[in-house]
Structure 1
Amino acid sequence: MKKYILYLFPLVFAACSNDKANENKTSENTLTARADTLLIKNDEATDLDTGSRFFLERAAYANMIQIESSNRIASKTTNNELKTYAEMLITDHKAVNTQLTQLAQSKGYELPSLLPDSKMQLIDKMDELKDEGRNEYYVRLMINEQQHAIDAFALGSRSEDKEINNFATGSLPKLKQHYQQVLKIDTALQVPKANQGDDPLKISNRNKQAG
């Protein structure tokens, strides 16, 4: 069965003329790794519109980054609320990813199996931080990535493909719930800083005004 890598965004390749054998081997390895981060279309696949293909790819990224980052924080944090939240994300996104994979396969597509380097770098940054710094970084990462996920699923909810449309539409409420929950956790993490001189959200000023 033939497979076609769908490049949804232009890629720029650089080549050098020295040592052709090593260059070709490196290029082949790079292309293989890059292919694993992209949506792949089989030769008998349904002809989906660009928005639907974009949704499948970005939804896969959303699941992978939230599962991987949540696994890391759950194994290290001592914050019980954050640990519970991370474990919930792992469970929910694994379930969504299973459904997404089945949906993509039914349309003749293979989802990305790896995250792009830019996404992995965001996750790996967590390993450089400790305790509260790592907790806060994870929460802010989830806020950002869940916004991206909601945008992607909103796009999917407008898909011309009925099954993709229904799946994305049905998944949105849970994603929005996750987002609201992480905003509350973010606020809870910031409150103790109000009296410690580290008040990036200016919580202490708001409290003074409220009083």
Structure 2
Amino acid sequence: MKSNPFTFALLLAFAAVGNLTSLVSAADSTSALKASDEKFVKMAGADGMAEVKIATLGTQKAERTDVKDLATMLVTDHTKANAELTALAESKKVQLSAVITPKAAKAFEDLEKVSGKDFDKAFLKQLEKDHKDCISNFEDAEKNAEDADVKAWATKTLPTLRAHLDKVKELAGK
């Protein structure tokens, strides 16, 4: 069988495209996170953003000075953690959402409707729930994240989240 130069060139072109596709896929896979790590990063981003929004409301509406001080601390700490997470997400090519979840938006709306001592009580209750959920997710990431940077960030952030929960419980008991 006689070889056709056109057929040979076409085969070379397909082989080159196949190799190029493999190279592009390999390059993408080295910079992308595993699905579970990406899910954690996105969830932590959404939760962190919601926490700042809710805590900011607390700085405005809390009646008790100690609750207002807690809210201020939360805004500061979560804003810092969010900035760190944003840098981590960008380095891993993970797109974080710019909006809070519908569940967090509902919690915010519910808190907007109350004031005075009722606000303080509802605010602390919401913070306790949010921080318990968040700590559980961070503990899971600390144990199971496959990406070393994601695991390190979760580990670094956990003590602050636990301190927040301890403070929330202390104030809720007053």
TM range (shorter): 0.7 to 0.9
User: Please, which of 114, 117, 120 is the counterpart of residue 135 of structure 1?
Assistant: 120
The aligned residue for residue 173 of structure 1 is: 159
Equivalent pair of 2:50/2:104 in contact (CA under 8 Å): yes
Normalized per residue, which structure has more helix? 2
The aligned residue for residue 104 of structure 1 is: 89
RCO higher in structure (CA 8 A, sep ≥6): 2
Equivalent pair of 1:58/1:149 in contact (CA under 8 Å): no
* 1:25-36 correspondence to structure 2 within 5 Å: none
- Structure 2 segments unaligned to the other structure (5+ residues): 1-26
Matched, 1:186 2:139: no
| Structure-2 separation of matches of 1:44 and 1:113 | 24
| Structure-2 separation of matches of 1:112 and 1:154 | 22
Equivalent pair of 1:154/1:168 in contact (CA under 8 Å): yes
Equivalent pair of 2:51/2:78 in contact (CA under 8 Å): yes
Matched, 1:146 2:126: no
Q: CA RMSD in A?
A: 1.5
Matched, 1:57 2:38: no
* 1:13-28 correspondence to structure 2 within 5 Å: none
Which amino acid counterpart does residue 150 of structure 1 have in structure 2? I
Shift of 1:101: 0.3
Which amino acid counterpart does residue 178 of structure 1 have in structure 2? H
**Identity percentage of aligned residues:** 21
The aligned residue for residue 147 of structure 2 is: 161
When normalised by structure 1's length, the TM-score is 0.66
Equivalent pair of 2:61/2:115 in contact (CA under 8 Å): no
Shift of 1:64: 1.3
Count of equivalent residues: 146
| Structure-2 separation of matches of 1:139 and 1:65 | 15
Residues 91-118 of structure 1 deviation map (CA, whole Å, 9 limit, x = unaligned):
0000000000000000011111101222
User: Please, which of 58, 75, 93 is the counterpart of residue 90 of structure 1?
Assistant: 75
Shift of 1:76: 1.8
Which amino acid counterpart does residue 172 of structure 2 have in structure 1? D
Residues 105-138 of structure 1 deviation map (CA, whole Å, 9 limit, x = unaligned):
0001111110122220111111111211111111
| Structure-1 separation of matches of 2:115 and 2:45 | 28
SS of structure 2 residue aligned to 1:88: helix
Give the structure with higher Rg (CA). Answer: 2
Residues 9-64 of structure 1 deviation map (CA, whole Å, 9 limit, x = unaligned):
xxxxxxxxxxxxxxxxxxxxxxxxxxxxxxxxxx9472322221121111112211
Equivalent pair of 1:63/1:97 in contact (CA under 8 Å): yes
